[in-house]
Amino acid sequence: MTGESGHRWGKSLRSEVPRSSHSQWSPAPERPDPVEVIVSQDETRLQWLVPVRHWRMAQSPFAFYRGAAKLMAMDLATTPSTGIEAQICGDAHLSNFGVYASPERELVFDLNDFDETLPGPWEWDIKRLATSYAIAARHLGMDEQQQRGFASESAASYREAMGEFAAMTFLDVWYSHLRWQDVLDAFSDQLTKKQTKKGKKFATKARSKDSLHALRKLAEEVDGSYRIVSQPPLLVPFRDLPEVAGQLEAEVLLDEEFGGYLHSIRDYLAVLLERYEPVDGALKVVGVGSVGTRCGIILLEGRDAKDPLFLQVKEAGRSVLEDHLPPSRYENHGRRVVEGQRLMQAVSDSFLGWNRGEVTGTHYYWRQLKDMKGSVDIDSATPDSLHRFARVCGWTLARAHARSGDEAAIAGYLGSGQVFDRALGDFAIAYADQNERDFEAFTNAIDSGRIEAHEG
C-alpha cells in the first residue's frame, strides 16, 4: 500500500494503536532475570573472552545498554506496534551511527552496525535510538528534562523525515544519503568557528583511517614482510592460537575461508581481491556486545608489503530479534547481515561478503577494517552537539526504514503533531530507569562472584 491509500491506512491505525500508547513501559510480571538473559549469550562465545565482555558492559549504564540488545528486544516485543514492518537494525543506539567511506571515497554518515538486522516493527528501532539519547544524557549528568528532550528530538526528526520521504519518489528515497559535509552545512548557521573546526578535524581523522594506517598500528615488519602484532587477549595472531583457536578457523581462514568469501562478492571485485595474497590473520576483540564472538582481521598483501589491505571477519549468529520475529529468509547469518546492511544503508562497503566456516560451520561476514570509520565521542558531547546528533540520527533511521517499509503508512500514522515525539520521550525515561535497574543487577552479580569480569 503506497501514496494516499498508505497514508490513510496509517492514519486509521491510530484508533487501534494510539500514538500516546508508545509512552508506556512496565516490565512483564514474568520478565526473566536480566543477568540470566545476558549470560545466556555467553554459552556460544569464546569463554576466555566472556569476562572481558562483562567488564566492558559494567563500565556504565550506557555501556551496559550497548551490550544488552537481546534484553531490550525481549522487552520491545511486549510494547505496542502498528504492524507496519521494515528492515530494521535491531540495535539502533546512537553509537551505531557514524561516518565511513563510500565506494566513491566520499565520507558519508549512516547506520553502521547490522549484526541483529531483520524485517520487523519500525517502532523497535526508534525506541532503542530514543532511549539511547536519554541514557547518554543521563551518563553526562544532564537533568531529566534534557534527557527527555533529546529522546523526543530524535523521534521528531524521524517523524518529520518520514513525512518528507512519503512525498518523494521511490528512486529519490533510494538515492538519498548524507555526506559528512552535508551534516556540517545543515548546521552551519548554528556552529561557532570552534565547532566548525572540530567537525573538520573529525573528518580529517576519519579519512586517515585506511589500510596503511591500520598497518602502522596493527602490524610489524619482520624480515621484510609484515605480520600482525600480538597484544593478547584483545589482539591475538592466529599463529599464537591453538589449532582450532576456540573454533575460530585460524589458518583455514587465510585460505579456504578467503576463497569461500570470494564466491559471495561480485565477479569484478573478486578479480581485484584475487590479486592480493592473505599473509596473516588475528583474533581481534571489538565493541561491547560483540566481545567473545569469533571476530578476526586478515592482512592481505598486494603489489608489495607497502600495498596492504585489511579485511575484518565477524561471526554472525542468530539475531536477537528472532526470538520474537520470524527467522531470517537467509540460511547463512552472514548473508543476513550483509543483505540487511545493503538494504538499510544508502551506500555500503563494496567488500561486504560472507562465508560458512569449513571446520565448524560458523557463519561469518566480511568487510573492510575501519575504512574511514568514525563515530561521535559521547563522553565529550555537549547539549548542543547531542541535540544536533539526535536530529541527524533520526533522519538517517527514517531514511533506512523508508527504503524497505511503507513510508506513506508510517508517515500517516505519525502525523504532523508532537504526540509521538512526547510519547517516545516518556518511554525513553521509563526504559532508562529500567536499564539502570538491570545494570545494578548485573554489577551486583559481578561483585558477588556470580559472574566473572576483568579487563583482560
Quick check: bond before 233 cis, omega within 30?
A: yes
Average pLDDT, the chain: 92
Query: Residue 1 above 80 pLDDT?
Result: no
**Stronger pLDDT, 186 or 397, i.e. the higher one:** 397
Residue 120 bridge partners (DSSP): 86
Helix (H) or strand (E) holding 212, with range, is helix 211-218
Distance CA 186, CA 396 (A): 14
Q: Summarize the confidence of residues 281-310 as an average pLDDT.
A: 91
Query: Residue 243 above 60 pLDDT?
Result: no
* Domain extents in the chain: 3-207+377-447, 211-368
pLDDT of residue 246: 44
Distance CA 409, CA 8 (A): 7
- pLDDT tens digits, residue range 396-422? 999 999 999 999 999 999 999 999 999
- Rounded to whole angstroms, the maximal C-alpha distance in the chain is 72
Computed from CA positions of residues 386, 388, 392, 394, in that sequence, does the dihedral angle turn out positive or negative? Answer: positive
Query: What's the pTM value of the predicted model, to 2 decimals?
Result: 0.94
Q: Is the CB of residue 76 less than 8 Å from the CB of residue 124?
A: yes
Give the pLDDT band (50/70/90) at residue 244: very low
Q: Is the CB of residue 57 less than 8 Å from the CB of residue 63?
A: yes
Q: Is the CB of residue 54 less than 8 Å from the CB of residue 96?
A: no
Lowest-pLDDT choice from 275-289, 312-326, 333-347, 407-421 = 275-289
Query: Residue 240 above 70 pLDDT?
Result: yes
Q: Summarize the confidence of residues 166-191 as an average pLDDT.
A: 86
Taking Cα atoms as reference points, which of 377, 422, 403, 434 lies closest to residue 154?
A: 422
Q: How many alpha carbons fall within 13 Å on the CB side of residue 114? A: 30
Query: Residue 436 above 80 pLDDT?
Result: yes
**Stronger pLDDT, 114 or 224, i.e. the higher one:** 114
Query: Residue 356 above 60 pLDDT?
Result: yes
pLDDT of residue 252: 63
Beta strands in 330-421 (DSSP E): 353-356, 363-368
Q: Summarize the confidence of residues 307-334 as an average pLDDT.
A: 96
Taking Cα atoms as reference points, which of 235, 350, 349, 233 lies closest to residue 281?
A: 235
- pLDDT tens digits, residue range 323-333? 999 999 999 99
Q: Is the CB of residue 131 less than 8 Å from the CB of residue 432?
A: yes
**Stronger pLDDT, 254 or 362, i.e. the higher one:** 362
pLDDT of residue 256: 73
Distance CA 407, CA 411 (A): 6
Query: Residue 245 above 50 pLDDT?
Result: no
pLDDT of residue 112: 93
Give the pLDDT band (50/70/90) at residue 358: confident
Give the other-Cβ count within 10 Å of 77's Cβ: 16
Helix ranges (H only) for 255-295 are 258-262, 267-273
pLDDT of residue 247: 41
Q: Summarize the confidence of residues 417-430 as an average pLDDT.
A: 98
Give the pLDDT band (50/70/90) at residue 251: low
Computed from CA positions of residues 58, 62, 64, 66, in that sequence, does the dihedral angle turn out positive or negative? Answer: negative
Grid-cell match 528534562, residue found: 145
Query: Residue 426 above 70 pLDDT?
Result: yes
Lowest-pLDDT choice from 80-94, 153-167, 293-307 = 293-307
